[in-house]
Chain A
Amino acid sequence: GDPQNLKCVTHNLQEMVCTWDVSSRGRRGQTDFCYTTNDLTPQVCFKTKERRVEMPLPESSSRVTIKSSGTSFPTKEFVIHKKDISFVPVTPRILSLTPDFSTSTLNLKWSDNGSVFPYGLDALWQIQILRKETMEEVTKVIYYSKLTHEDVILSWNWTSDMPLECTSHCVKIRCYINATQFLGPKDWSDWSPAEVIPGKDSEPGGSGVFPLDTVVAVGSDVTFCCVHEEDQHITNMTYGSKPYKMIQLSSRSHAIRVLNASASDTSGTNVVCHLENGMDGTVVFVGYAPDIPQNLSCETSNFFIIKCTWKPGRPSGLYGERKTKYSLFERMSGKNVSCEVNEMNRDRTCGFPVLPDQKTYDFILGVSNPIGQAQSSILVDITQRVHPKTPEKLSVTGSNSTSIQMRWFINGSFAGIWLLCQIEVSSGHSEKKLHNVSMPGGKSSTYTAQVKSLRPYTKYQFRVRCSSADHFWKWSDWSRGVEQTTAEAP
């Protein structure tokens, strides 16, 4: 028959595929096909039974002659101009579709097939996600990349608004290459074959309520689904104790959508799927990400342990294995300490060992729970953050009519700093007097002092507290009192 409707398409901007129709039906015989891309190159001819031929993409135009071999039909000549050739990229190939059920995320990997294209072309990838038994479109997104004349594996993540177990998810991809230099019409490639991640509802005997034992932030919108066996019938689904309107995903899977979830009780919120003969359920813990720790402060009482304290801010509402965890990281030494914290009491403390030959500490207090994390930092010179323990075993070691010698013990190693101690002297109704005395710090040692200018034969009460003399930070608490009467005047 008479060749007509010659159409040419290029998939890679290098070759093109031309196809044509033949006017009459008749037996499909051989065809003599010749082409020449320009006047300088010799004509190329060959025979073919197909109505489809691959040939180089012309610089500007190609001259094609098609003749049905052995027939009286005349040779038909065509001139294909570059602007008449359309560009449709090769259908992309999905390399892998990997589900992460714990985060309801799909990871898609495909090759951009860039090696066949010149460097630097912009490529658009349209990714379509379908769901449910009816394969409804959930989303269609465009991913942009630049071709580099090499085959690059591209990767893209998508987080579903419902657990992947709920029903089957399917992904397809197609591409469009913005070859600005190409004169002819440009179009999207075909869709790739679909890749499917089967849900539990297509698994024989698969059942359960999902997500299983998850943690979400207050205010989240969460979809829960109930997958049940073939022969079961679902009656309703409750969140907390409130029934919710069900969405059917498939014959074995129904879902409910909870909007703006509020904080759950300590034992979590039950999501129950009531079936005709039985039930299934899961628990969701709705809480808060940890607040940034407030008023972080670190001090030492003995130069053995540095104690950091902070205010936790808003309670997370998460307990047990989901509770907020704290760790103290010291940047200079690289040492990290995890802190044991009781979620129920308000003040938080964490101990960090004093390191040999290190005075300055650059702390980062890290706070994390399944919903989020936060941190606070503080740079502290511990010699300027000394808060001694309460002086102990205060005792009088000697006295006469006008003076008293006394001794006390402070737990801690204060060698290297001076201590300032204050002795409170009181007697009867007279005004309390404070007697300041400085002394070199010792290594868990006993300290002595003398109080003079006392009145003879008078009963006095004494107590002592200490602090760092070099850089005052905090007084220790007062020691227990001790009582002594001065001797009679000689």
Chain B
Amino acid sequence: MAAADSPSAALRRRDLCSRGIRLAGKMRVDVIDLLDAYVERQGLDVSSLDSSVAAVEGVPLAAVERWDEQTGTQRLLENLAAYRAFRALLAQMLEEQREQLGEADAGLGRALASVLLQVSAFAYHLEELLRLESRGVPGEEEEEEGEEEEDRPPPPPRLSIFEQKLRGLGVLRELAQWAVRSARDLRQLSKPSPATGTA
């Protein structure tokens, strides 16, 4: 966090946090609606799927140990990394959805695009908060630059359509969890207590 909060910075942070909390709340509602539509449109029988959709590769897990010990900056950085990952995953889902269904399920496509937009907006919001903490925002290019051309992991093998469906389910489920966690993180951040300070 900033060395000592100036009143305007604290006010600005509280404002950003409360707007972020509202964004997260709206996103969660939309993600849950999308999840229901997704399950139904993809013909998935959720009751029999649980064990396989537990952890889908590449999907950031919302569950975190010692949540209350995290610093504000850690919270923001983890949130930002997660929503950037979700942005990429949702964009891929949208691409696959167009490939598989084309114009046949425009409704699902629109709902997916809307959630993608909200995730992008939320990521930008988190970057705002990090800038407010005069904390450098990790650029996505940095994350990639850190990897040499050869280090960059090879593109994942193309998933089968069923695997795509399961991954989509895993992404939306985990995103709904993240929306809850993000709201809690932002509430934590908006408290004036020292716990919100940086390490």
Query: Could you tell me which A residues sit within 8 Å of B by CB distance?
Result: 209, 212-213, 238, 240-241, 264-272, 274, 277-283, 319-321, 323, 342-344
Contacts and interface: CB of A to CB of B under 8 A. Distances in A.
Contacts of B8: none
A200 B81 CA distance: 39
B170 to A, nearest CB: 13
Given A241-B45, A272-B45, A274-B48, A267 B99 contact: no
5 contacts: A266-B104, A277-B51, A281-B166, A283-B162, A321-B102
Contacts of B198: none
A277 B52 CA distance: 8
Given A270-B44, A278-B52, A320 B104 contact: yes
A486 B42 CA distance: 68
B160 A279 contact: no
A268 B100 CA distance: 9
Contacts of A238: 45, 48
Interface of B: 41-45, 48-49, 51-52, 98-106, 160-162, 165-166
Given A283-B161, A323-B102, A267 B42 contact: yes
B43 A268 contact: yes
Contacts of A280: 162
B51 A283 contact: no
A209 B98 contact: no
A342 B52 CA distance: 36
Nearest to B54: A278
B45 A321 contact: no
A213 B161 contact: yes
Nearest to A319: B104
Nearest to B105: A266
Contacts of A321: 99-100, 102
The listed residue with most A CB atoms (<10 A of its CB), out of B43, B105, B160, B165, is B43
Nearest to A279: B52
B38 to A, nearest CB: 9
Contacts of B51: 277-279
A320 B98 contact: yes
A439 to B, nearest CB: 43
Contact of A267 (B45, B52, B101, B166): B101
Given A265-B43, A279-B48, A279-B49, A319 B103 contact: yes
A282 B162 contact: yes
B43 A270 contact: yes
A267 B41 contact: yes
Contacts of B166: 281
Contacts of A241: 43, 45
B43 A319 contact: no
A342 B103 contact: yes
Nearest to B100: A320
A321 B52 CA distance: 27
Contacts of B162: 209, 213, 270-272, 280-283
Nearest to B47: A241
Contacts of B48: 238, 272, 274, 279
Contact of B43 (A212, A267, A279): A267
Sorted nearest first, the 6 A-B pairs with minimum C-beta distance are A319-B104, A281-B162, A266-B104, A320-B102, A283-B161, A320-B100
B99 A320 contact: yes
Contacts of A342: 103
Given A212-B160, A270-B162, A281-B162, A320 B101 contact: yes
Contact of B165 (A209, A274, A278, A283): A283
A117 B148 CA distance: 68
B171 to A, nearest CB: 16
B177 to A, nearest CB: 21
Given A319-B104, A320-B98, A323-B102, A270 B41 contact: no
A267 B165 contact: yes
A94 B102 CA distance: 46
A241 B40 CA distance: 12
Contacts of A269: 43
A269 B101 CA distance: 13
Most buried by A among B45, B100, B166: B100
Contact of B160 (A213, A323, A344): A213
Contact of B100 (A272, A278, A319, A343): A319
Contacts of A266: 41, 101, 104-105
A241 B49 CA distance: 12
Of the listed residues B41, B98, B162, the one surrounded by the most CB atoms of chain A closer than 10 A to its CB is B162
Given A209-B162, A268-B161, A283-B161, A344 B43 contact: no
A47 B78 CA distance: 94
A312 to B, nearest CB: 14
A269 B45 CA distance: 11
A268 B41 CA distance: 9
Given A268-B100, A320-B98, 13 more contacts: A267-B41, A270-B42, A270-B43, A272-B45, A279-B49, A283-B160, A283-B161, A319-B101, A319-B103, A320-B99, A321-B102, A342-B103, A344-B106
A327 B135 CA distance: 57
A282 B102 CA distance: 20
B27 to A, nearest CB: 24
Contacts of B105: 266-267, 319
Nearest to B41: A267
A236 to B, nearest CB: 9
Contact of B161 (A274, A282, A343): A282
A347 to B, nearest CB: 14
B165 A343 contact: no
B144 to A, nearest CB: 29
A303 B7 CA distance: 72
Contacts of B103: 319, 342-344
A353 B100 CA distance: 31
